[in-house]
Amino acid sequence: MDGFKASVSQSLQLKLSLVLSLWIVAVTVVAGSLSFRAAYQQAHEFQDDVLKQVAGILIPGSLHHRAGPLIDSDDEESRVLVQRLDEPVPVQNNVDKTGLLNLPAGLADGLHSLHIHGEHFRVLVVTFGDGERIAVAQEAGFRDEIARSSALRTVMPLIVFLPPLFWILSRVIRNMFEPIVRVSRELDQRHEQDLSPVQEIAVPREVQPFVKAINRLFKRVNHTMEGQRRFVADAAHELRSPLTALSLQAERLAKAPMSDMAVERLSSMRAGIERNRNLLEQLLTLAQTQYHQHPALHGVAILKVLAQILEDLMPLAERKRIDIDVEGSPDLQVYGTEADVKALLKNLLDNAIRYSPEHARVKVQIINQATGVLLRVQDEGPGITPAERSRVFDPFYRTLGSGQMGSGLGLAIVKAVADRMQARIVMGYTDPKREQGLEVSLYIPHQVTT
């Protein structure tokens, strides 16, 4: 019971349905009671008119030699009794046998409801012009039964139509709330960074202030997020020039004669500068990926982009003597932008090469499927445990014990691009038995829904 009360208090649709249903039941009960009462009284009035019509067809003096049931029937309750008031009736009279009632002789003209020998009768007393007085009677139980049946037939349609009315009411209320459900469904299915305004035309007028408030909130949040992304992009861009200058100075300094200790320290400094440059490049890529939410999408030849990426990453692979195998059709395309596909492939292959040991193999598979393209990258590194696979896509998160210096932004960029391309990412081990190596599979659909 407490759960039902909580549901009613929290659901406007359920509360409205309950209140309207209670009002419908109340109105139906009142209307049914009034209709029943009116039909019941009308049936009695009609039966009284029947008694009057029977009395009207009687001819004065016609009952001198005849008295008893005027309408004979096997059903004793349905017969009409006619008798003279001055006609003697035995004291121990049985109306079912004689058809006569013990009526007082001084009974006034008109309709009367009398209780005679334990039974109720409706009696009409009429006086003719010659002074003859007659009584036309009918058992009240039969009359009440007919009146009750007639009244129930009047009320029955109201009772029969109540369940369909409740069903229609629930459907109408559900349809009235459908625009709100549609808006909530649209918001629930949106990408986490999609802050475009909600359409106000498709919602009822009463809900439009709420939708306008949501749109204003979206606008403020979008303005704040754009400011943060611009700040990251501007900061990374401004830091690029000083780091480039430091890198050039370090290269010039490396050509100058110096001690072995100075050479070692210079080498460490140049490695640090290179890491910072990579970090800035990835920050710029992440900011650009998150900033442009609605780019112009088109078919991109994935192997063509992969060839460009391999040219940039081949020196790193050659230093570690890593073989890179590529399988795929040259004319295979994915739906997106060239910048997104390049960022996706570069970060996946860069991670695979960096975390693989020397003399390892990195395998890239591009498989065409019925609903999309499967991009799979496999390496022979330490892999990622199932407990960490949900966190590796967070910016700046790095797995411990990997032995590699990185920024922790590579997989965050992959996740941002995959979300925009509506691709699904699945991670696993390259060798499940030994739990070694990382396998990243991306299911990229042929078409992206907007």
Q: Where in the chain is the domain with CATH 1.10.287.130?
A: 190-294
Strand pairing category for 361-368 and 333-336: unpaired
Cβ density class 375-405: b for 16+ within 10 Å, e for less: bbbbbbbbbbeeeebeebbeeeebbeeeeee
- Say what the alpha-carbon torsion angle 129, 56, 60, 124 is, to the nearest 10 degrees: -80
For residue range 310-354, what is the model confidence (pLDDT) as tens digits? Answer: 888 888 888 889 998 988 877 788 888 888 888 888 888 988 888
Q: Model-level pTM?
A: 0.51
* 251 pLDDT above the threshold of 70: yes
Nearest to 33 by CA among 147, 140, 161, 158: 158
Q: What is the pLDDT of residue 99?
A: 60
Q: What is the pLDDT of residue 363?
A: 92
- Give the Cα separation of 447 and 298 in Å (integer): 10
Q: Where in the chain is the domain with CATH 3.30.565.10?
A: 297-450
Q: What is the pLDDT of residue 5?
A: 46
Please give the full DSSP string across 169-238, using - where no structure is assigned.
HHHHHHHHHHHHHHHHHHHHTS-TT--PPPPSTTS-TTTHHHHHHHHHHHHHHHHHHHHHHHHHHHHHHH
The CATH code of the domain at 190-294 is 1.10.287.130
- Give the Cα separation of 12 and 377 in Å (integer): 50
Sheet strands (E) in 329-416: 333-336, 361-368, 372-378
- Residues 6 or more apart from 306 whose CB is under 8 A from it? 326, 345, 364, 366
% of the chain surpassing 70 pLDDT: 83
Nearest to 277 by CA among 232, 240, 248: 240
* 63 pLDDT above the threshold of 70: no
Residues in the chain: 450
Q: Worst-scoring range by mean pLDDT, 167-171, 383-387, 405-409, 436-440?
A: 405-409
Q: What is the pLDDT of residue 59?
A: 64
For residue range 74-110, what is the model confidence (pLDDT) as tens digits? Answer: 555 567 778 777 766 655 555 555 567 777 777 888 8
Nearest to 356 by CA among 393, 304, 319, 385: 319
Beta-carbon count within 10 A of 70 CB: 20
Domain 297-450 in CATH 3.40.720.10? The answer is no
Q: Worst-scoring range by mean pLDDT, 214-218, 295-299, 358-362?
A: 295-299
- Give the Cα separation of 62 and 131 in Å (integer): 13
Sheet strands (E) in 208-356: 298-301, 323-327, 333-336
Q: What is the pLDDT of residue 8?
A: 42
Helix (H) or strand (E) holding 71: strand 68-71
